[in-house]
A and B are shown apart, each in its own frame.
Chain A
Amino acid sequence: MTEKVKHSRLFLWFVQVLRVCGRELLLVFRDEGVVIFFLLLNAVYPVLYALIYNPEVVRNERVVVVDDNRTALSRDMVRRLDATQEIAIAGYAANMQEAQEAMHRKECYGILYVPRDFGQSAGRGEQAHVSLYCDMSVMMRYKAMFTALSNVTQAMGNEKMAAVVEPVMNMSGSIVENRQVPVGNPAMGIASAVLLFILPLVLQQSMILGIAMLHGGSIERRRRNGGRDPMAVEASPGATIVGKMMCHQIIYVLPVIYVLHYVPLMFGFPQYGNLLHIICLAVPFVIAVSFMGQTLSAVVNERESVFLLFVFSSVVFVFLTGVSWPRYLMSRFWWLVGDCVPGTWMVNGYVLMQSNGATLYQVQHQYWMLWLQVPVMFILAYLVERYVNRRRYRSWIAASEDNPKVLTRIDLAKNGVG
């Protein structure tokens, strides 16, 4: 290597980056708390969530029947309902009061009421009515009961309609058949729908928490050592940020592959995405999140306040991705807030890839938005590092030169002493 290259500014800058990266790696693995965030959290959390939601669908929801009709037809309907996947008949009640009592005692979550004239109306060729009363505390229960009842009455109706229509139109059954093809999530289950949204966010949040905790540790060291961090490497703000980002990128190779590829594999969630494409999508994501974490960690003053400051944001970020309330219905404001989070783009790209088999080309919008966030987040992180963090360290160093105890005293005062 020539002397000219060795002394060029770019080369020196790059050496700084590598030194920061190496030191950051050392700090990460020396700090049990950070290792828990970076590795253990990613290993355990997705599995825990997957286990919670793994039953996917509601089966055998208990329903009590009040049958005022007591005919073969009403019994047939109840038998068919009992045979559906969604409903299990818990029993008969003599009247509505008794059924309500059962509902209040949580012995059932729905009441099927068959009125007195049900069989007679059907026999006379009039419309027969049947009522279902649903407990609305959990939407999935209602949806399951509703689906089962409409499927059963429709099947019964089709049989009856065929009998009426056949002599007229010389055919049985419907004239135009219809068929639902569930795509993306063939099980139509909640786990396959929710988990894929949560997985990339676990990566994002664990990374932000870990980065913030590292920063908190550094702040604590500075407070003990008169504003200087003995573990920090002398480097320019830009080199510091990029060096740390490289470290995070290296550490997150394994979690990214494990969380995004192996967790869906373990639980049999939709996995139509190409691993290579998913990793390509994850690269700008991890870089952007690393810069975002470094920007946000400026608010952290001690290691443990990361729990207070960042944990709850996970719920907000999850909602912003559109997991339960679709993004197209969000107000302009929340839509834009969601756009600013790398996780939103990653999640939406990842879900389309894993569930619908989209290629990187098809989610290029999300992909480019992630790359767009990289420089934006970098600039934010740079501004914070240069004008907030470093300025603060300088003022601490100046203050503790006058009075070495001043930094620890502030700490004590906050705990209600003095």
Chain B
Amino acid sequence: MTSNLPKYIGNSFKRGCIQLVRRPMYFLLIVIMPLLCCWFLMDLIKDGSVQRVPVGLVDLDNSSLSRRVSRNLNGFQQVNINRRYSNFAEARDAVQRGEVYGFFFIPDNLEEQALAGRQPVVSYYVNYAFYAPGSMQYKGFKTISLLVNGGIVQTALRTVGLSNNGIESALVPYQTHVHMISNPFTNYNFYLNSTFVPCFLSLFILLMTAFSLGMELKSGLSRQWLRTSGDSMFLALVGKLVPQTVLFTAVGWFIQWMMYRCFDFPLNCNPWNMLIAMFLLVVANQSFAVLIYCFVPNFRYGTMLCTLLGMVSFSFSGFSLPQESMYSWVAALGYVMPIKYYFLIMVDQSLNGIDLYYSRFYYAALIGFTILPMLLSWHLKKECLNPVYVP
């Protein structure tokens, strides 16, 4: 065995590379598709923030005050009044048809009632079925309705001789400053794609690894696969997966280069921290798929499990709903997947740029994923010696 080791290593790698080259689908799914998907997500959201939400206006008052309100409203970056409706029913119909995402409602006699001190109510109807445009509209509508109020008060206070400073502090006594650490423009592209794109890549890695392992079992060639590497499961896996690791890592680094250099995502740490994290993510995902095959050495169920977890990890890793708000078992499930640790590393390192010390466990966890299947590979080996294919 020992004397033949170099031969076995060579054969094993040769076999892995031949498989990779002979099937165009491998190249397609390791290189082309991840890059295409990455480009898709980044190009889709390249504008960065949701703006100019199409909204409607119902103005029953038609006074100089209400016209001023609608003019001001249109001056806001958040909303774009592109429709005017003559009554409430029309506006509701437009929301139901999906023409506008919401509307601002100015009631009858607004100016008159305001000046008489009868506290009229302006209302804004926001369609939260569309989440991002809904939140943005709320910001715009809220600000403008405060300004309506402020405008009237300001005139009144000026007539009694208050200075500008005095008026300002009377209108907004408590000024809040919200500091959005490392993403000051709430850029949606930075936020979403620094997690979704690596998660996409992980999905491809999981599927690819599961598929290429499963093909050995399905075609009944797993015994021959083991023989090429001198009956060593470890060597067989290495020979098969390392060529894929190289390609996936290259793709991952290219994606990182695109994110941090072309699209200027925040990178507040030593670039190596992220490059290493990407490499570890690739290896951890491959190992995770192997691990699943160790437990479920069956093509269909193994692949299905990888698919299911890979798809659901977009949701339970806590990219959109934060983990502390989830049910605890869902949040715990997130920690099963390697992408969760990459996400945490990304937040600590490239986004917040804090000490490597705080991310030590995450790196360790990614390395742990790599070691785990080695301990269980005997089970996979047993299955490889007696492959059973269930269609």
Contacts and interface: CB of A to CB of B under 8 A. Distances in A.
A164 B168 CA distance: 12
A55 B166 contact: no
B128 A412 contact: no
Nearest to A209: B307
B312 to A, nearest CB: 6
Interface in A365-382: 365
A183 B98 CA distance: 13
B173 A355 contact: no
A323 B45 CA distance: 12
Contact of A160 (B98, B173, B192, B324): B173
A61 interface: yes
A221 to B, nearest CB: 10
Contacts, number: 348
Contacts of B322: 58, 61, 109, 138, 140-141
B360 to A, nearest CB: 12
Contact of B391 (A33, A136, A312): A33
A139 B191 contact: yes
B182 A136 contact: yes
Interface residues of A, number: 120
A21 interface: no
A174 B153 CA distance: 9
Contact of B160 (A141, A146, A168, A314): A168
Interface in A175-194: 175-186, 188, 190, 192-194
Interface in A283-311: 301-305, 307-309, 311
A170 B123 CA distance: 24
Nearest to A175: B152
Interface stretch (A1-9, A121-129, A397-405): A121-129
Interface residues of B, number: 127
A181 B18 CA distance: 62
Contacts of B351: 136-137
B128 A175 contact: no
A31 B391 contact: yes
Interface stretch (A232-240, A260-268, A325-333): A325-333
Contacts of A331: 43-44
A278 B19 CA distance: 47
B129 A319 contact: no
Contacts of A133: 179, 181
Given A58-B325, A128-B175, A304-B218, A52 B358 contact: no
3 tightest A-B contacts by CB?
A178-B145, A355-B129, A184-B129
15 contacts: A49-B312, A51-B330, A62-B324, A142-B180, A154-B174, A178-B141, A178-B142, A183-B126, A190-B131, A308-B207, A311-B203, A325-B44, A330-B44, A358-B96, A363-B97
Given A149-B178, A168-B157, A334-B44, 15 more contacts: A53-B315, A104-B355, A125-B169, A139-B191, A142-B186, A175-B152, A175-B153, A178-B121, A182-B128, A182-B134, A183-B127, A322-B130, A326-B133, A331-B44, A355-B127
Interface of A: 31-33, 36, 48-49, 51-55, 57-59, 61-62, 77, 104-105, 109, 122, 125-143, 145-146, 149-150, 153-154, 156-157, 160-161, 164-165, 168-171, 173-186, 188, 190, 192-194, 196, 217, 270, 301-305, 307-309, 311-312, 314-316, 319, 322-326, 328-331, 334, 348, 351-352, 355-359, 362-363, 365, 411-417
Interface of B: 15-16, 18-19, 22-23, 25, 29, 33, 37, 40-41, 43-45, 47, 50-51, 53-54, 93, 95-98, 101-102, 110, 114, 117, 119-135, 138, 141-142, 145-146, 148-149, 152-153, 156-157, 160, 165-166, 168-183, 186, 188, 191-192, 196, 200, 203-204, 207-208, 210-211, 214-216, 218-219, 221, 224, 299-300, 303-304, 306-307, 310-312, 314-316, 318-322, 324-327, 330, 343, 347-348, 351-352, 354-355, 358, 391
